């Protein structure tokens, strides 16, 4: 019987690799598979009645309302050109420091991650703006490409991250299910706000690791030129482009951490604040609002369609005995809970090559999280390990998504092999932080 759910997984993975749309593949193949299994008595058709209830649950989920609001906030800051001005002004502020441009890219990358939270958008924006300037200033091509690609992935771990919002929702459901299975009725909860707080120190550790490595590389590079900016930087410009986004991030995260607002309410503050910043920078008009709203609608629809498809898949996967398969895999692993955790992290890391974080969050995590939580692992700590792991897989050659984004906007003079070699030190930094967080959960908890 354990072969049946495994067969469903193999068919879905094959369809995804061929290139069929993720959401329709997950839902369509699962339903067809279930219909074939009904005559053999493998699948109970009454389970189909749960599908509308699950879809209504997704529509009714207040936590997930934060997703379109954070996307709207990020899209406004991206399309208004504030990101470009942030980089220009930050580079000018660091112009008397050797390698100041590379340091400013990490700082701006962290700010963009906290304000946009969209990996693809950040990598493309930074790639178009900063990669040509870095190379002209005398930085090595490989290092420049690695720096831009890795700072772009900070949106995965630095709150308020869309990945953490989705992961928080999934871990909340998984934790509830694990407690039900263990017969615990006075249940504890895990929230998106808990994940945001837990991600702060690991996110800062990764940024610090990037800075230390960058300063070390700058010290060894004898060909660096000073950053030349003919126009003197104005304090009012610094205020409009740097201080205002920092205040916005502080308001969004501060309201969550202080317990004043839920992540959804904080996302609304962020969306409204982003509109104010665009208005102060004279970027708001009807066409601008129309374009940002359309992009927000497209990205949100993609996420929620995948979410519905993944929900149908997980329901049918359990209906054909998927839980028994997962439990069998975990029980057959030698070495206890730690071995199971390392095995899961390796699987997620490898899946990050071929699947987007949304698919991993809603297809893989609901299957593997409950058994791990039943072994006694903390849900917040586990979620942050997953997030750091996914961020690392975004960078890993040859299939890392960030590498594809950067290859699409990088100049042809930069070879793909240079991009691959450039990201390796940054991957090692992330793996080191992952190891530190595994050994010392206190950094998250």
Of 109, 113, 123, 124, nearest to 73 by C-alpha is: 113
Residues with Cβ within 8 Å of residue 212, at least 6 apart in sequence: none
- Measured distance CA(101)–CA(133) in Å, rounded: 9
DSSP 293-320: HHHHHHHHHHHHHHHHHHHHHHHHHHHT
Dihedral class, residue 428 (left if φ above 0, else alpha if ψ from -120 to 50, else beta): alpha
The count of C-alpha atoms lying within 13 angstroms of the C-alpha of 385, restricted to the half-sphere facing its C-beta, is 27
Given a cut of 80, whether residue 1 has pLDDT beyond it is: no
- Measured distance CA(426)–CA(428) in Å, rounded: 5
User: What is the domain extent for residue 66?
Assistant: 3-443
Query: How high is the pLDDT of residue 227?
Result: 57
How far are the Cα atoms of 24, 27, 28, 171, 439 from residue 48, in angstroms, in the given order? 17, 12, 13, 24, 43
Mean pLDDT in the chain? 83
Residues 97-124: tens digit of each pLDDT: 777 778 888 888 787 777 666 666 667 7
Query: How high is the pLDDT of residue 157?
Result: 86
| 178 vs 400: which has the higher pLDDT | 178
Torsion of CA 344, 347, 353, 358, to 10 degrees: -50
Average pLDDT over residues 339-351: 88
| Token pair recorded at residue 100 | 């100041």
Of 174, 205, 203, 201, nearest to 190 by C-alpha is: 174
Measured from the Cβ of residue 220, the count of other Cβ atoms closer than 10 Å reads 8
| Token pair recorded at residue 76 | 């406004």
Name the DSSP class of 233.
P
Query: How high is the pLDDT of residue 209?
Result: 94
Identify the H or E element spanning 69: helix 66-79
| 393 vs 223: which has the higher pLDDT | 393
Query: How high is the pLDDT of residue 34?
Result: 93
Q: How many residues does the chain have?
A: 445
- Measured distance CA(80)–CA(45) in Å, rounded: 51
Residue 360's pLDDT band (cuts 50, 70, 90): confident
Residues 237-269: tens digit of each pLDDT: 666 677 788 888 888 888 888 888 888 898 899
Q: Alpha-carbon torsion 410, 109, 264, 443, what sign?
A: positive
Residues with Cβ within 8 Å of residue 338, at least 6 apart in sequence: none
- Measured distance CA(119)–CA(401) in Å, rounded: 9
Average pLDDT over residues 38-64: 88
- Measured distance CA(47)–CA(315) in Å, rounded: 8
Given a cut of 80, whether residue 415 has pLDDT beyond it is: yes
Name the DSSP class of 361.
I
% of the chain at pLDDT higher than 70: 92
Given a contact cutoff of 8 angstroms between Cβ atoms, the answer to whether 294 and 300 are in contact is: no
* Number of domains making up the chain: 1
Given a contact cutoff of 8 angstroms between Cβ atoms, the answer to whether 295 and 120 are in contact is: no
Residue with tokens 């954070």: 70
| Token pair recorded at residue 239 | 């205020």
- Measured distance CA(143)–CA(215) in Å, rounded: 12
Name the DSSP class of 95.
T
- Measured distance CA(201)–CA(196) in Å, rounded: 10
Query: How high is the pLDDT of residue 189?
Result: 84
Given a cut of 90, whether residue 328 has pLDDT beyond it is: no
Given a cut of 70, whether residue 225 has pLDDT beyond it is: no
- Measured distance CA(283)–CA(320) in Å, rounded: 53
What pTM, to 2 d.p., does this model score?
0.84
Given a contact cutoff of 8 angstroms between Cβ atoms, the answer to whether 386 and 113 are in contact is: no
- Measured distance CA(397)–CA(274) in Å, rounded: 35
Measured from the Cβ of residue 36, the count of other Cβ atoms closer than 10 Å reads 11
Of 64, 3, 5, 108, nearest to 322 by C-alpha is: 5
Of 370, 441, 410, nearest to 182 by C-alpha is: 370
Given a cut of 90, whether residue 29 has pLDDT beyond it is: yes
């Amino acid at each position: 019987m354990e072969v049946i759910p495994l067969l469903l997984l193999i068919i879905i993975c094959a369809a995804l690799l061929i290139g069929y749309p993720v959401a329709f593949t997950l839902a369509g193949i699962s339903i067809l598979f279930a219909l074939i299994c009904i005559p053999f008595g493998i699948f109970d058709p009454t389970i189909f009645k749960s599908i509308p209830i699950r879809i209504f649950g997704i529509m009714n989920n207040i936590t997930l309302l934060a997703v379109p609001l954070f996307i709207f906030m990020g899209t406004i800051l991206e399309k208004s050109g504030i990101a470009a001005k942030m980089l220009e002004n930050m580079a000018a502020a660091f112009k008397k420091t050797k390698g100041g441009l590379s340091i400013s890219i990490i700082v701006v990358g962290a700010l963009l991650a906290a304000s946009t939270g969209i990996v693809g958008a950040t990598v493309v924006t930074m790639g178009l703006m900063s990669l040509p300037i870095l190379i002209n200033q005398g930085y090595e091509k490989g290092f420049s490409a690695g720096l831009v690609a890795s700072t772009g992935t900070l949106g995965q771990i630095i709150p308020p991250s869309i990945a953490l919002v989705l992961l928080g929702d999934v871990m909340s459901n998984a934790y509830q299910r694990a407690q039900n299975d263990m017969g615990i009725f006075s249940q504890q909860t895990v929230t998106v706000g808990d994940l945001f707080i837990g991600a702060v120190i690991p996110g800062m550790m990764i940024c610090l690791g990037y800075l230390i490595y960058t300063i070390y590389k700058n010290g060894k590079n004898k060909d660096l030129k000073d950053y030349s900016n003919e126009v003197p930087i104005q304090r009012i410009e610094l205020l409009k482009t740097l201080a205002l986004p920092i205040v916005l991030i502080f308001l969004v995260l501060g309201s969550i951490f202080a317990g004043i607002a839920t992540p959804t309410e904080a996302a609304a503050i962020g969306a409204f604040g982003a509109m104010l910043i665009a208005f102060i920078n004279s970027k708001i008009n009807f066409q601008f609002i129309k374009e940002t709203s359309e992009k927000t609608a497209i990205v949100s629809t993609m996420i929620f369609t995948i979410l519905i498809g993944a929900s149908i898949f997980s329901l049918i996967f359990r209906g054909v005995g998927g839980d028994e398969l997962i439990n069998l895999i975990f029980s057959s692993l030698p070495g206890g809970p730690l071995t199971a955790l390392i095995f899961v992290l390796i699987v997620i890391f490898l899946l990050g090559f071929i699947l987007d974080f949304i698919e991993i969050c809603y297809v893989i995590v609901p299957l593997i999280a409950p058994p791990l939580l039943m072994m006694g692992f903390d849900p917040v700590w586990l979620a942050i390990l997953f997030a750091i792991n996914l961020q690392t897989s975004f960078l890993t050659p040859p299939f890392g998504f960030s590498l594809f984004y950067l290859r699409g906007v990088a100049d042809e003079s930069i070879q793909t092999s240079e991009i691959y070699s450039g990201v390796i030190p940054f991957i090692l930094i992330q793996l080191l932080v992952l190891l530190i967080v595994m050994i010392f959960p206190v950094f998250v908890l």
